[in-house]
Every structure is written in C-alpha cells, then in structure tokens.
C-alpha cells in the first residue's frame, strides 16, 4: 500500500528514520562501553524492542507489570520494570512472569521489598532488584543515604540486589543545555552519595541504570551510570526536538507522524481530522511537518485547527509531529511502518502496539 492510500488519521513510522535513530543510539552506547536498555514505554512494541536488541540492547525497560507481560508474550526475554509495585495481586503476576523471562524490578520501600520477596518466594522465581533513589525528579525513590538500608533489606530477604535505579525525568525536558547539565550534575552527586552509603554498608553495587533521551550524554560522561534507559530517541517527538542539543549527542530524526486530512475549510482556518484522541497533548501541541508557517491550534478530541497565510485545501493531507511520542503511541492499536519517505513511500509493516493500554 502506498502512503497516499493510508486512511486518516493514522500513526505512521518512518522506518528509514527510525533505523538511523536506532543505529545512532546503539553506536553511542557501544563507543562509551555502556549497556543500552531502551525504554519500551515509548513504543510498546515487541517488534521494535527486538530491533533494538538486535542492534546490541541488553533488553528493554517497561513501566508497568502488564507492559512486561504483553512484551514477554510477544517474545521479549529480558525486561526491567523501572517502577515500584506494591499490590499483592500484581506482585504475584510479577513473580509468575519472572519464571518465564529475565526480569528486574525497582523498589523504594521496606513494605515493597517484603511483599516482592514473599511473592517471589511463593512462585519460586528470581528477579533482579534495583533500589530507586530520587535524583531530583521528586517522584518515586528514596534519598541517597536510605539506599543502603533498602539494599540491605533486599539482600537480607535473599533477593539479588541488581543496583540503583536513578532516573531524572524532569531533567529531560529542561530546554537549555546548561539547565540539563546542572540537573544531571546534581543527580550525579545523589548517585555518588548512594554509592558511598552502599560502600559504607559493605554492599557492592553492580550497576547504576537510568538516563533519558534528553540527558543521556551527561549521564554517560559522569562515569557513574552503566546502563542507559533512553526511550524517545527512537521516534523523537516535538518536545524533545525543542531541546537545545548537548555537545556530543547523536542527532535523532523525527520518525513518528500522524497522517491527517483537511476535513473542513473556512476563510481563516482549516480543520483536520486529528485531535487529541490521535496525538497526546500533555507536552504541548503537535508541529505541522514541513509547514512551519502553519500554526496548530487545539481543536478538541477529534479536530485540529490550522491557521496561517497559505492554508491547505479541503481534502489535502497534513502530517503532524506529535508533542509527546509515548502517550501518542498508547492511543493507537497499530503503527504503519513506511519505507521510502512520507511522500512516495510504501507501507512495509503494520507494527502492533502490543502493550497498548497496559497500565496495571
């Protein structure tokens, strides 16, 4: 099928651009001697996870138990749930999954460790346990000094202490390079504090895992992180592209688009058939691809409104670069993988969003 025949709105992946992004990140990690474990919360696709693993990734991260289950069912064998689970029913699922795949999970409470240990014991399975420290985001994770206490509890329960989970989500979206450098410098101090506390307690730390697409160059340069969790680089959304580039960072291309059509025209605006049921707007509105002269105005759940001097005609195709790729992908059952560009390309592959809506 030609790109022209794709009905709208539709989520389209430029496979050529995505492949260049995959190679650029894999090359960066290899050159620095770092493990790459891309975050699959971005694409929620077993096929893309396998593309990443085929290029050297050690496995993928997920954020939710049900995401791990969905990707495992679709063939991914090495998964890290970079998030806390404290419900007993869900921990039973975690423990069951750990029988089938190589699994790791984050903890940030004594209660969470107790319950995880009980679930794994009951299921007779094993999982790597990362202690999450708050490195500046102000969300999950304990203080650096408390890491040693929790790691000690992990070990005391007979579980495998896999290292520190240290991810600064908010830092990814600070626009200037200076702001991000300052945030990751502070995060590095937090990691050093935690490593110091672990050493004082006589606990070896096998790995520090973290970093995102906006800051990974900084974590890589710190010498502290051994594993990068970047996710969005694969698609490169509008929000990440709005960041000032960091020195030494590979250049990633937009690879995720919403194809839309002008469905209504007035004298001063055009209405397209893509609203925020087609693309997430939590990180701002999409950009009109190739038409920087057009302004996208929020038109609600099912419409987008375009303003500008040279408006597209009724029926014309309009391509959008979503503001935020992760929740945009989550809105769709499939992504259409295109070869040969958005203009004259062909649909080579229908990519299932295997973990769509997997929020538990």
Task: State whether residue 86 is helix, strand or coil.
Answer: coil
CA 181 to centroid of chain Cα atoms: 20
Report the nearest approach of a second copy to the CB of residue 243 (Å).
17
Report the nearest approach of a second copy to the CB of residue 139 (Å).
6
Tokens 């970079």 map to which residue?
Answer: 82
Q: What are phi and psi of 327, to 5 degrees?
A: -70, -20
Task: State whether residue 303 is helix, strand or coil.
Answer: coil
Report the nearest approach of a second copy to the CB of residue 204 (Å).
25
Half-sphere exposure of 104 (CA within 13 A, CB side): 23
CA triplet 345, 54, 20: central angle to 5 degrees?
40
Alpha-helical regions (H) of 33-165: 46-54, 65-73, 88-100, 110-123, 146-156
Decide whether 28 or 165 has the Cβ nearer to a second copy: 165
Decide whether 178 or 360 has the Cβ nearer to a second copy: 360
The closest of 259, 213, 277, 201 to 239, measured between CA atoms, is 213
Q: DSSP per residue over 203-268, as a string? A: -----EEE--TTTHHHHHHHT---EE---GGGT--HHHHTSPPPTTPPPP---EEEEEEEEEE-SS
Report the nearest approach of a second copy to the CB of residue 248 (Å).
27
Decide whether 31 or 268 has the Cβ nearer to a second copy: 268
Decide whether 244 or 314 has the Cβ nearer to a second copy: 314
Report the nearest approach of a second copy to the CB of residue 11 (Å).
9
Q: Which residues bind a second copy (CB under 8 A)?
A: 5, 7-10, 41, 63-64, 83-87, 89-90, 108-109, 111-112, 134, 138-141, 169, 261-266, 269, 271, 273-274, 276-278, 280-282, 298-303, 305, 314-315, 326-327, 330-333, 357, 359-360
Decide whether 114 or 253 has the Cβ nearer to a second copy: 114
């Amino acid at each position: 099928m030609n790109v022209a025949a794709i009905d709208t709105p539709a989520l389209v992946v430029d496979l050529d651009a995505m492949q260049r992004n995959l190679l650029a990140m894999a090359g960066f990690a290899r050159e620095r001697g770092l493990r790459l474990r891309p975050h699959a919360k971005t694409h929620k696709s077993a096929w893309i996870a396998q593309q990443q693993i085929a290029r050297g990734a050690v496995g993928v991260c997920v954020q939710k138990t049900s995401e791990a289950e969905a990707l495992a069912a679709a063939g991914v064998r090495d998964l890290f749930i970079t998030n806390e689970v404290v419900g007993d029913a869900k921990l039973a699922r975690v423990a069951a999954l750990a029988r089938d795949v190589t699994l790791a999970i984050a903890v940030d409470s004594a209660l969470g460790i107790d319950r995880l240990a009980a679930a794994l014991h009951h299921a007779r399975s094993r999982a790597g346990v990362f202690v999450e420290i708050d490195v500046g985001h102000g969300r999950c994770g304990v203080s650096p000094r408390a890491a040693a206490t929790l790691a000690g509890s992990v070990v005391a329960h007979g579980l495998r202490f896999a290292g520190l989970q240290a991810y600064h989500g908010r830092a990814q979206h600070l626009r200037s390079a200076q702001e991000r450098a300052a945030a990751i410098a502070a995060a590095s101090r937090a990691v050093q504090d935690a490593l110091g506390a672990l050493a004082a307690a006589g606990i070896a730390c096998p790995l520090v895992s973290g970093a995102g697409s906006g800051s990974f160059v900084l974590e890589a340069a710190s010498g502290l992180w051994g594993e990068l969790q970047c996710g969005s680089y694969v698609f490169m959304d509008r929000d990440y592209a709005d960041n000032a580039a960091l020195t030494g960072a590979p250049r990633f291309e937009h690879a995720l688009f919403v194809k839309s059509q002008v469905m209504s025209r007035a004298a001063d605006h055009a209405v397209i058939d893509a609203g925020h049921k087609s693309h997430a707007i939590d990180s701002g509105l999409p950009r009109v691809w190739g038409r920087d002269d057009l302004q996208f105005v929020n038109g609600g759940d099912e419409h987008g409104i375009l303003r500008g001097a040279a408006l597209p005609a009724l029926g014309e195709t309009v391509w959008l670069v979503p503001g935020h790729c992760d929740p945009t992908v989550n809105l769709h059952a499939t992504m259409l993988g295109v070869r040969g560009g958005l203009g004259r390309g062909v649909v080579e592959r229908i990519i299932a969003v295997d973990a769509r809506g997997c929020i538990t």
